């Protein structure tokens, strides 16, 4: 592979990309600069769904990023995938959200679906004709997915789904979803009775309920879904076997942590770039505030944590591309990058002062969006548990 120059934070960083990868990333970067950033805050403040931008993303093939070429997708490696999510989130987290959970569904289907399921769903998911997200969380089951109560019980050629899901991204404008439900509610432990399905809108029994009103992450809808004897064809049981759903979904969530980490990196980078630009233009007492040591210390810490986040993400992505387990590395990347997003967006607001609190500048949007990546994709409290458990396995004391 050729060495390609990848612009990062006003300078360049060497990373091994081939010409096709560089073309994809540069195309997304130009799309964000030209089409997204000029309208993001206005659309976000109106909480307006970005139909035109989503249409452009379909034309660019972004809905098929992690779908293999034989099924009509782009089939990018995980590092390139993360770079693309960084660029999209630099422009607008809500827009990245349209792709985020859709990509998790595609990943699970590609890894665990039958050949028939892949042929039926992946080509139209790649074009964006079918798009949606994942139906996992319930009112009493978020971090603890084994506590879900939604059931899918076999009834001839279909499964009948009953229950409710919440925090479903793309629920209103999407049409295809990954559903986790209990096919054996009595199973012990609970995960052995859980199965995953691809479900589609159309049949009676699925209701898209209220849109959840959120602090940030606006424009992309987040809704509740209710199921009342909703029929799902038996051939839509992922992998064709019951009881495998929990494992399938958790593998998909490993990939989600990386795209959420990349989203955090994008927010942090956008906030930093706004802050360092402002610091060089804003003058107090006759000189730019960037010349004051207090501001310089903030900028140095912000940039250092952003670069550390990027390297953690790349390390986890490369391990995943080698086919190795990366739950430890993905947890570290998600934890550090999203905490960095929260910290850097707040520091950027402090550098901008009153302007950072104003809707005239995008920093207030970054500040409102950052908590979502701290909580989403598995809370950072959960990430610390995952990290600690893996460290204890890695460094197990045998008493010798």
**Is residue 41 within 8 Å of 83, Cβ to Cβ?**
no
Give catalytic status of residue 381 as yes or no. Answer: no
Catalytic residue among 256, 274, 339, 347: 256
Question: At a CB cut-off of 8 Å and minimum separation 6, what does 24 contact?
Answer: 74, 76, 80, 84
What does the block give as tokens for 201?
Answer: 């809108």
Distances (CA, A) of 142 to 59, 138, 382: 34, 6, 11
76 phi/psi in degrees, rounded to 5: -75, 155
* Residue of 261, 156, 150 whose CA lies nearest to 199: 150
Give the number of other Cβ atoms within 10 Å of residue 221's Cβ. 21
Contacts of 211 (CB under 8 A, 6+ apart): 172, 221, 222, 223
Write the CA distances from 164 to 56, 148, 214, 234, 320, integer angstroms. Answer: 32, 9, 19, 20, 33
Of 177, 261, 265, 267, whose CA–CA distance to 217 is shortest?
Answer: 267
If one counts every other C-beta atom within 10 angstroms of the C-beta of residue 1, the result is 9
Using alpha carbons, list the distances in angstroms from residue 103 to 100, 130, 238. Answer: 5, 12, 16
141 by Cβ neighbours in 10 Å (0-12 / 13-18 / 19+) ranks as: middle
The two three-digit tokens of residue 381, written as one number: 């409290």
CA dist 226 and 205 (Å) reads 8
Residue with tokens 């953690």: 312
Catalytic residue numbers read 256
């Amino acid at each position: 592979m050729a060495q390609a120059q990848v612009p990062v934070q006003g300078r360049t960083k060497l990373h091994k990309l081939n010409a096709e990868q560089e073309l994809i990333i540069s195309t997304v970067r130009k799309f964000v600069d030209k089409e997204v950033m000029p309208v993001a805050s206005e659309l976000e403040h109106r909480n307006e769904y970005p139909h035109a931008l989503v249409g452009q993303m379909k034309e660019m093939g972004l809905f098929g990023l992690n779908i293999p070429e034989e099924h009509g997708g782009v089939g990018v490696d995980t590092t390139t995938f993360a770079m693309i999510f960084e660029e999209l989130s630099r422009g607008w987290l809500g827009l990245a959200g349209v792709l985020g959970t859709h990509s998790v569904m595609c990943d699970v289907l590609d890894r665990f679906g039958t050949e028939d399921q892949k042929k039926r769903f992946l080509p139209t998911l790649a074009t964006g004709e079918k798009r949606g997200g994942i139906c996992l969380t319930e009112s009493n089951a978020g971090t603890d997915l084994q506590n879900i109560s939604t059931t899918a019980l076999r009834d001839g050629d279909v499964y009948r789904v009953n229950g409710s899901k919440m925090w479903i991204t793309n629920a209103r404008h999407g049409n295809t979803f990954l559903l986790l439900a209990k096919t054996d509610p009595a199973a012990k432990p609970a995960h052995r009775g859980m199965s995953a399905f691809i479900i589609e809108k159309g049949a009676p029994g699925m209701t898209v309920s209220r849109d959840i009103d959120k602090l940030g992450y606006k424009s992309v809808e987040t809704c509740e879904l209710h199921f009342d004897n909703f029929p799902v064809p038996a051939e839509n049981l992922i992998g064709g076997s019951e009881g495998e759903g929990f494992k399938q979904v958790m593998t998909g969530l490993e990939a989600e942590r990386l795209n959420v980490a990349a989203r955090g990196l994008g927010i942090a980078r956008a906030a930093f770039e706004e802050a360092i630009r402002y610091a060089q233009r804003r003058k107090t007492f006759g000189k730019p505030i960037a010349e004051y040591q207090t501001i310089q210390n903030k900028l140095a810490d912000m940039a250092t944590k952003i670069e550390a986040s990027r390297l953690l993400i790349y390390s986890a992505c490369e391990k995943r591309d080698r086919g190795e387990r990366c739950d430890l590395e993905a947890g570290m990347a998600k934890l550090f990058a999203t905490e960095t997003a929260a910290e850097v967006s707040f520091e950027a607001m402090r550098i901008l002062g009153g302007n950072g609190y104003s809707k005239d500048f995008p920093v207030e949007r970054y500040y409102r969006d950052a908590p979502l990546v701290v909580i989403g994709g598995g809370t950072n409290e959960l990430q610390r548990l995952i990290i600690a458990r893996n460290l204890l396995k890695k460094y197990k004391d045998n008493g010798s």
